[in-house]
Amino acid sequence: MQFSKFGNRLSKDSGILQLMDDLGNAVNTAADEELYMLGGGNPSHIPEVLDILQEELLHVVQDRKDFTNLVGDYDGPQGNEAFISSLCEMFQSEYGWAIDESNVAITNGSQSSFGLIFNLLAGDFKQEGNKKILLPLVPEYIGYGDVSLSDAPLFSAVKPLIEIDDAGFYKYSVNFDELTIGNNIGAVCVSRPTNPTGNVITDEEVQKLSALTKEASVPMIIDGAYGLPFPNIVFTEATPFWDEHVILCLSLSKIGLPGVRTGIVIAQPELIEKLTGANAVFSLAPGSLGPKMMTRLVQNRRLLDISNNLIQPYYQEKVKIAVNAVQQSMADLPVYIHQPEGAIFLWLWFKDLPIDSDELYKRLKAQNVLVIAGQHFFPGIEDENWAHQYECIRVSFTAEEHTLRTGIDKIGNVVRAAFAQR
Ligand SMILES: Cc1ncc(COP(=O)(O)O)c(C=O)c1O
């Protein structure tokens, strides 16, 4: 079969495809062999959260009218009205955000939100030429990498400042001295917390980026898939943020509903109209299940309660185990852990690693340990000689303790062998 340019883009060897393939294969082979699945972005199955989600699902399906409406009717293309209204009420009353129903659209997962938003705001602008999405900080989410429908490079990025402390941790921060929002920038985008690093850009960085984007009349996209206000997988001080020029993308996935595919976009009405149009054209309507399961939990604020009192503490505990495992099993190695401030990953930097992270990924995979090679998380960086980008891996800490500890031990062994062979 012959495919269009668009078709060929989808089969190329992308990081996100590798990740999702590994995730699928791991699920398929887990029964035969012991696998150390530290690669995926699947959230943990937290029993107390699952109880609540199951209760809400039962509540919807037990009522014949609600059930019929759930499976038998399309929602409108902007998404479920009752859910959107409940979100607006919550954002207004809890955070004082001046939004109404014209500011919110539902999508089939925030990955779809980014696919649409990036292509709406960057790409071919005819007279003005090509516009890009500026990533003020990389490493950044692997899933942004391949969503462009145009051939022109989609991202421009700035290398971060790196601050190492004495305890073996480091932190990236935005290098504002190098950040310019020129006419070729269609939007600025940052994930907060960041996948893969667990970095949470500070309130001060958010305010600075907000001021710069406002001044340049360019939207600022905040990817809150792990963040604020929900699911609040944040282990540091950080304030939820929205303003008129901000496009805040949220998701129900890390609440524990990745299979349900629900994304939420809070933005200016003109963008919401475009997303509504895109939903209609590509999917008729976004799915109803996530919105229906969540409306009550938004209305009674249990969603915030679950985020703050179940999900956040659960991952906070997990991250301690993961950090402890790295410190115990890699004390002799030149490893730096990015400050784990949020999300579900540790980002490990093996300084002067003699092999690149793709090779390390392969050697680990041969040992049944799945991680994600770090070099795919630097979209928009043009300096191929920047060694740092080949020296990092992403390790998910959602697995149960034995898998996590054994997997991390194995990573230590493979890295040790690589240094020894040098
Ligand atoms: C930073 C970030 N943004 C967006 C997504 C997309 O999530 P979903 O499409 O499940 O909402 C993910 C998924 O892991 C992510 O890590």
pLDDT tens for the 422 residues of the chain, in order: 988 888 887 766 665 666 666 666 665 555 667 899 999 889 999 999 999 999 999 999 999 999 999 999 999 999 999 999 999 999 999 999 999 999 999 999 999 999 999 999 999 888 888 999 999 999 999 888 888 888 888 999 999 999 999 999 999 999 999 999 999 999 999 999 999 999 999 999 999 999 999 999 999 999 999 999 999 999 999 999 999 999 999 999 999 999 999 999 999 999 999 999 999 999 999 999 999 999 999 999 999 999 999 999 999 999 999 999 999 999 999 999 999 999 999 999 999 999 999 999 999 999 999 999 999 999 989 888 999 999 999 999 999 999 999 999 999 999 999 999 87
42 lines ligand 1 (CB under 6 A): no
* Structural domains for the chain: 5-49+306-415 (3.90.1150.10), 75-302 (3.40.640.10)
The answer to whether the peptide bond before residue 193 is cis (omega within 30 degrees of 0) is: yes
Dist. CA 191 → ligand 1 center (Å): 9
Whole-number Å distance, alpha carbon 419 to ligand 1 midpoint, is 34
User: For 109, how many CA atoms within 13 A lie in the half-sphere containing its CB?
Assistant: 13
Q: Is the CB of 253 under 6 A from ligand 1?
A: yes
Phi, psi for residue 270 in degrees, rounded to 5? -65, -30
Q: Is 251 near ligand 1, meaning CB less than 6 Å away?
A: yes
Ligand 1, atom 12: closest residue by C-alpha: 225
Q: How much distance in Å is there from the Cα of 266 to the middle of ligand 1?
A: 16
Q: Looking at this protein, which amino acid is placed at residue 272? A: I
Rounded CA-CA distance 240/226 in Å is 12
**Which residue from 195, 252, 372 has its CB within 8 A of the most atoms of ligand 1, so it is best to mutate?**
195
C-alpha to C-alpha distances, 50 to 34, 108, 258, 340, 384, nearest whole angstrom: 25, 21, 12, 25, 44
Other Cβ atoms less than 10 A from the Cβ of 88: the count is 19
- Report CA(225)–ligand 1 centroid distance (Å): 6
Pocket mutation for ligand 1, best pick of 20, 199, 253, 283 (most atoms within 8 Å of C-beta): 253
Query: Which residue among 23, 110, 201 is best mutated to probe the pocket of ligand 1, counting the most ligand atoms within 8 A of its Cβ?
Result: 110
Residues 368/35, Cβ–Cβ less than 8 Å: yes
- Residue 3 has which token pair? 């495919």
